[in-house]
Structure 1
């Protein structure tokens, strides 16, 4: 063996790349361990073997060297081994002065894990697409639950303007359902098959607002993606752009948004060419934009652009006839979700009807879910309600209902008396600082208080 061959053999054996070299007839001359490790075999079993023979045996399926010897040009293929591995192979021919192939060098790279990840990714994409379709179907079926005249008027107005491109501005407290009405408007419009892009303006940092809204070209600033990025306005092309909490828009962005609404054009950060865009704008806010205009916090010209179709959604406390409908709806919906059969006790139901609901529909939905999850009983009693809902006045009613619950659950007089006694001792402990004060509060002796505290502590 010549010095050159010795050096070559050493390079191949110590290389971290999966290398094999054959002669012009496809006989394996040199190879390394890494190459055959992807086939889960030893290299010594293949030195001196013909790649054509290994191909017939199905060990190399197909043999890239055989392809190169036949086609006489560099080749890249994907190979599937008997062990189920996926191998990416690249091979190059070496010619002599007469144009004859004297050697073929091939490189192998195990792509099995990547292939599995790609398969999983494709499966996830298919699942996600299915979920998105289901969500869209549910959203299309989603209807506002109402009895009040105010909500009937809002729904009719949405139906009338749905197939126009008029800008709609929804105002109202947080949780009244502005997002739901925006989606409803989109699904009833001629843009329903196009994107519905929802943006919460209060959650995007001011420093990132412009890039998020308008996108940017490659290399526009430090940290920018190499391929650039579409902005939210561009993503909403042909669809609906819903800007929730639009009162939080920085003044600099307000000016640019106004220009987009007027000219239907925008430019990415770092770009030199304006792009056409067509979308329907729906805005929503819980702030008073007129007051903001007077304070110089919101542009007057943008306000007029937004306020084409103004819709004020009243808070839940101002449409009490809708509360019972919503309670029943979410009880049924969440029971179905968790496969339960919980019900509200009439006293609990009455408290919820009289509650002011500062968080509106969102608070109501969350509270019903909480009650269904934390209640041990099929009947949800008032004592399950948080103190913020009960309040001082209804708290006493809640205790009365709790005593009623004791009587319903246990017909043993002694057991019921003990439960009521324990409740009263507990309440007295909250009100009093010493056993003497507890005794006075309950109208019993101080030794009796000590005895009962010890009894119920155990």
Structure 2
């Protein structure tokens, strides 16, 4: 076969390929540029022939040049290119050696991935929107739950709630204290939602759950490759994530003294420095802290810095335990019972003795324990009324109120359950009336409507004539 036929055959093979093909000599001079070079690179095939790939790379016709990489590394190379016309190209370079091991040709095959890249970017944008919508839905759910649980009939809790409402719109640091399970996280979220930062992030950090060895990297973040095992992309710290939002430090009394020093500096300067970085970053966040420990006592023991304590102790709020606000008990039981009846598609209610035993219990785990208990009762009960036998705790505690009446009371007294409930209701209404409460105040205190109060007071007066 003569030279002319070989040329024609080679041209036909190259044109039949789905890829754009460029052939250079061992010095990177373009010998052939076949197919749609204009569409790929913004340069015609004819204008590229005879020019150096080093020059074409400098002019960003393609960047980086796969041929240059092949000449440098003396092996096959595959990489992503950006071209002068904005296309994303997957380029593969193949060296051709002579018998002495010298590169005499480099063949590069380029495939257009622009459409695929665009689809990927569109998908990522869609994912980002979905995540944002999910986040907004979650915020709405949290807001509904948080404010629902802030309802209270307890004077102590009303005082705490009022304090939080007054300071929510400010930038003051709030320190929530109370036993585990009283709902400190719920109140922290409520403060965030009623603040001017409600559109920002609410970043919750459980200081007691982060290992000391990871505390600094988790809180402050790190630069790429800052230490062995570090992500090559680096990591944003939790404090920086709270920028323009609220940082909630739960169990702040568990912080090590070393981390207390670093946190104090952040609160003073409103700047953080990532591990492995020499630059500081400004952060703008509102701080809410919580603890179930006596920080003053920790300060006296030398386990908590006094200067940090006063930084946190700007607006202290004590959240009372459930045993000190039994007025809220029926409301909370109703809230959780409704919640879990809906979740498990049931319509259960508590037996009066079940409620009585719950009221007698001291609830060391507070609202969290009550919530978990109600969920377990709903799951375990196979009857429409939840019996006291399903309770897993005993009520013989020092602060137990007077014993619940036995069934013998009905036998000896000759009254029905309905009549006895009416007697109890009458006693509460008369007590409220003696205190001089208005019918509206009675309704709010007893958790019933004002027209119901009026009707029942009228009935009491009629029955007593």
Normalised by the shorter chain, which TM-score bucket?
A: 0.5 to 0.7
Per the alignment, residue 298 of structure 2 pairs with 292
Aligned to 1:136: 139
Determine whether 1:68 maps to 2:53.
no
Aligned to 1:278: 284
* TM-score (ref. length: structure 1): 0.64
Match of 1:156 in 2: 162
Cα distance in 2 between the residues matched to 1:370 and 1:399:
26
TM-score (norm 2): 0.63
- 2:221 corresponds in structure 1 to 215
- Is 2:31 aligned against 1:28? no
5+ residue gaps, structure 1:
3-20, 30-47, 53-63, 79-86, 95-101, 402-458
Give the Å deviation of 1:264.
Answer: 1.5
Query: What is the aligned counterpart of 1:233 among 235, 239, 246?
Result: 239
Please give the secondary structure, in 2, of the residue aligned with 1:283. strand
Aligned-partner Cα distance in 2 for 1:354–1:188 = 35
SS at match of 1:198: strand
- Conserved? CA contact 1:176–1:316, under 8 Å: yes
8 Å CA contact 1:69–1:93 kept in 2: the answer is: no
Partner residue in 2 for 1:311: 317
CA deviation digits over 1:160-213, x for unaligned, max 9?
111111111010000001000000001111111111110000110001111111
Please report how far the alpha carbon of residue 90 of structure 1 lies from its aligned counterpart in structure 2 after TM superposition.
3.9
User: Is 1:333–2:339 an aligned residue pair?
Assistant: yes
Where has structure 1 moved over 4 Å in runs of 4 or more?
21-25, 48-52, 73-78, 91-94, 102-105, 107-126, 388-391, 396-401
Corresponding residue number in structure 2 for 1:433: none
Matched, 1:200 2:206: yes
Q: Are the counterparts in 1 of residues 181 and 368 from structure 2 also a CA contact under 8 Å? A: yes
Residue aligning to 1:351:
357
Residues 49 and 307 of structure 1: CA distance in aligned 2, closer, same or farther (over 3 Å): closer
Compare 174-183 and 108-117 and name the one that shifted more: 108-117
Alpha carbons 1:383, 1:398 under 8 Å: kept: no
How far the C-alpha of 1:217 sits from its partner, in A, is: 1.9
Q: How many residues align?
A: 337
Contact 2:224 2:231 in 1 (8 A): yes
What's the counterpart of residue 172 of structure 1?
178
Superposed displacement of residue 130, structure 1:
2.5
- Match for 2:257 among 248, 251, 265? 251
Q: Is the 8 A contact 1:199 1:244 kept in 2?
A: yes
SS of 1:348's equivalent in the other structure is helix
2:387 pairs with 350, 358, 381, which one?
Answer: 381
Q: Does 1:360 pair with 2:366?
A: yes
Change (3 A) 1:289 1:107: same
Quote the Cα distance in structure 2 between the aligned partners of 1:387 and 1:353: 12
Query: How far off its partner does 1:276 sit?
Result: 1.7
2:360 touches 2:395 (CA, 8 Å); kept in 1? no
- Closer, same or farther in 2 for the Cα pair 1:365/1:113, shift >3 Å? farther
Give, in angstroms, the shift of residue 245 of structure 1.
Answer: 0.3
Q: Aligned equivalents of 1:208 and 1:49: distance in 2? A: 57
Q: Which moved more, 1:123-132 or 1:194-203?
A: 123-132
Distance in 1, matches of 2:314 and 2:16, equals 81
Tell me which residue corresponds to 1:37.
none
Q: SS in structure 1 opposite 2:36?
A: helix
Alpha-carbon distance in 1 for matches of 2:373, 2:367? 10
How far 1:228 moved relative to its partner? 2.0
Q: Provide the rounded CA distance (Å) in 1 between the counterparts of 2:81 and 2:233.
A: 28
Aligned with 1:28: secondary structure? helix
Q: Separation in 1 of the partners of 2:284 and 2:407?
A: 61
1:145 Cα deviation after fit: 2.8
Q: Does 1:301 align with 2:307?
A: yes
